[in-house]
Amino acid sequence: MANSDMNDPNRAPDHLRHAGPRSQALLARAKAMIPGGVNSPVRAFRAVGGNPLFMERGSGCRITDVDGRSYIDYVGSWGPLLFGHADPEVIAAVRAAAEMGTSFGAPTAGEVELAERIIQLVPSVQKVRLVNSGTEATMSALRVARGATGRDKVIKFEGCYHGHGDAFLIKAGSGAATFGVPDSPGVPAGTAADTLIASYNDPDAVDALFDRYAQEIAAVIVEPVVGNMGCVPPQNDFLRKLRASCDREGALLIFDEVMTGFRLAQGGAQELYGITPDLTTMGKVVGGGLPLAAYGGRADVMSQVAPEGPVYQAGTLSGNPIATAAGNAMLAKIVATRDLYPKLERLGRRLSSGLDEIAREPKMAERMQAVNGAMSQTRVGSFVTLFFGAGPMRNWDDVKQCSTERFGRYFRGMLARGIYLAPSQFETGFLSYAHSDAEIDLTLEAAREALFEAFEV
């Protein structure tokens, strides 16, 4: 069936019509005014068939669409909602801030407090600048690295996504991979020429690029645990080897922790793996679901940023008081919630081992064998991905072998059973502190049936 049929509210077959009448009506209106009817491509469900659900409210680990249908949510706004939807402390902080005004375009105490909290939790960050999105954070971090080193080139990894800045839309992951536009039109050849690509978990490929472009490489930017190919963890001391290569070659190591920051540990993936980057980008959790992100790192590098230094970066709403109120509430709650990471680890392990058990059940194993199918999992704490491929998943070449068609069937089967997953094989699922054993068990019950359907002939 043509992709357009799958997405046409009137022509899609029933099993693709998971979107209720109000969602479908809103989509029809939206498509007339907004590209694809959405404000970010991965939301369009293009990779999984059917039409996107328009959401109306969330509470804890559940989200409810405009047709009144509720789902256990594993997207969590793509990562920010570490404590679930409408967290009371975050809402109270946002409400109080909003009553004092929405924006001043002047420094506020909340920005100072948030900078202090970030620096306290992430020791490699000695100075930090607040911005409005992860894309702004990575674009700015790269500009600072180029300004600080006087070099132009950057190494990124195939399948990693660092936002939609021109320099990064080269063999990118996430929505770019989902839509098969890892090298987006509109990125000038000159820009692309300064972006060098290596395979994730391949330190020799990085050293080969350094050998060839020695003094031209300003930085290596990496997702320390990839979320944008699905979850792909670093292996065989990959991060330590990147650190050593950058030290040897005088390049800066940028950890893009927009997704991993404050989620995999209080200090993010750099705490988990014990590696100190020169610069770190943060987003999602640090903004508590509001448009706030940050970049920071070594004081000698960050002091290059205007107005202290010559590297220019600015933003009308940077450090917005409502967003910083949400961020402060989030980071305060992270510090105060002593069982946060143990609970996320326990829930992640429960989900992952439950899916393993389902895969090993005789009738499931027979089913997969009959269609020559496979599935595998990766997990780091509350980052969980079920791949429709055998694994191991080490890099983009491994992940791209997965059956996106089977993933699409699984996704729709789970949605029909009240489970809301990220609508792409190349995304990660997120657990929150608001999930509980009960939701995990309901998810596993749904998965047992949806997986059986996914492997139908």
Query: How many residues touch ligand KE4 (CB under 6 A)?
Result: 21
**Residue selected from 134, 267, 297, 429 as contacting ligand KE4 according to rule CB under 6 A:** 134
Helix or strand run (H / E) with residue 192: helix 189-193
Contacting range for ligand KE4; rule: CB under 6 A; set: 102-110, 159-167, 204-212, 394-402: 159-167
**Residue selected from 5, 11, 40, 112 as contacting ligand KE4 according to rule CB under 6 A:** 40
Of 49 and 159, nearer to ligand KE4 (C-beta) is 159
Contacting range for ligand KE4; rule: CB under 6 A; set: 220-228, 299-307, 330-338, 403-411: 220-228
List the one residue out of 203, 178, 183, 206 whose CA is nearest residue 193: 183
Distance CA 127, CA 118 (A): 9
| Strand, coil or helix: 330 | helix
**Residue selected from 51, 108, 133, 245 as contacting ligand KE4 according to rule CB under 6 A:** 133
Least distance CB 231 / ligand KE4 (angstroms): 11
Least distance CB 404 / ligand KE4 (angstroms): 16
Residue 198 corresponds to which tokens in the numbers above?
Answer: 């290596």
Under the binding rule (CB under 6 A), the answer on residue 228 touching ligand KE4 is: yes
Instruction: Give CA torsion, residues 109, 120, 163, 137, to 10 deg.
Output: 50
Query: What residue type is assigned to position 194 of the chain?
Result: D
Distance CA 194, CA 91 (A): 43
**Residue selected from 225, 258, 294, 451 as contacting ligand KE4 according to rule CB under 6 A:** 258
**Residue selected from 227, 233, 327, 423 as contacting ligand KE4 according to rule CB under 6 A:** 227
Active-site positions read: 161, 256, 284
Report the site for ligand KE4 in 315-344 (rule: CB under 6 A).
none
Sign of CA dihedral 115, 118, 123, 128: negative
List the one residue out of 309, 336, 324 whose CA is nearest residue 116: 324
Cβ neighbours for 8, distance < 8 A, ≥ 6 positions apart: none
Of 7 and 174, nearer to ligand KE4 (C-beta) is 174
Under the binding rule (CB under 6 A), the answer on residue 47 touching ligand KE4 is: no
Distance CA 423, CA 411 (A): 7
Q: Could you tell me if 63 and 71 are in contact, meaning their C-beta atoms sit under 8 angstroms apart?
A: yes
Of 58 and 175, nearer to ligand KE4 (C-beta) is 175
Write the binding mask 289 to 318 for ligand KE4: x where contact by CB under 6 A, - elsewhere.
----x-------------------------
Distance CA 436, CA 269 (A): 24
**Interface residues with ligand KE4 (CB under 6 A)?**
40, 42, 78, 133-135, 138, 161-163, 174-175, 223, 227-228, 256, 258-259, 283, 293, 427
